[in-house]
Amino acid sequence: MLNADLKQQLKQLLELMEGNVEFVASLGSDDKSKELKELLTEISDMSPRLSLSEKSLKRTPSFSVNRPGEETGVTFAGIPLGHEFNSLVLAILQVSGRAPKEKQSIIDQIKNLEGSFHFETFISLTCQKCPDVVQALNLMSVINPNITHSMIDGAVFREESENIMAVPAVFLNGEEFGNGRMTIQDILSKTRQYGRCI
């Protein structure tokens, strides 16, 4: 599924992994599931630190990016290609233990968030504003065990996304949280406000 140039770039990036990472995939017999399995198998074969297993998740096709024996809360529902491929690569590196390129003050704010936060972000693979939001929420999930995040490709999960007018559309604990471009600081500020309201 990946062209030669992309595979070469990916191979170099995967060498930066600091620990083992497991893809846990929920797959059906549909074409999208077959595509996803092909992609994850292709990536897994590129590093001895990567493995792939299957398990039923909330959505199919989807997969989580976990440490062996430990769920991180990072899930991709659909196939993260296009603009979201970088989101997948960053998630792999961060879950492996690679330090994020964020200010320590931001990391500390994420660690100190109190409460349970379950984010879902509806995206399209052609959306240029979506990856920043997806990557911010994935990072928050990796850093704080009380946060989970699912990226959802609206083109694959049409029934769920039929009332969504613009992407990225972020939901927190089932309620609308925000639309459009957001920085990690924007998300943190809004999450803290949400935490104080419940």
Q: How far apart are CA 181 and CA 66, in angstroms?
A: 27
pTM higher than 0.85 = yes
Dihedral sign from CA coordinates of 35, 37, 40, 43:
negative
119-to-9, 96, 137, 170 alpha-carbon distances in Å = 30, 21, 8, 7
DSSP SS3 for 81:
coil
Topology at the third CATH level for domain 16-197:
Glutaredoxin (3.40.30)
* 161: enclosing H helix or E strand: helix 158-161
pLDDT (tens digit, 9 = 90+) per residue, 127-172?
A: 999 999 999 999 999 999 999 999 999 999 999 988 888 999 999 9
Give the Cα separation of 164 and 63 in Å (integer). Answer: 23
CA 154 to chain centre: 14
Instruction: Convert the pLDDT of each residue in 100-126 to its tens digit.
Output: 989 999 999 999 999 999 999 999 999
Q: Is the pLDDT of residue 185 over 80?
A: yes
**Every domain of the chain and the residues it spans:** 16-197
| Cβ neighbours of residue 6 closer than 8 Å, sequence gap 6 or more | 85
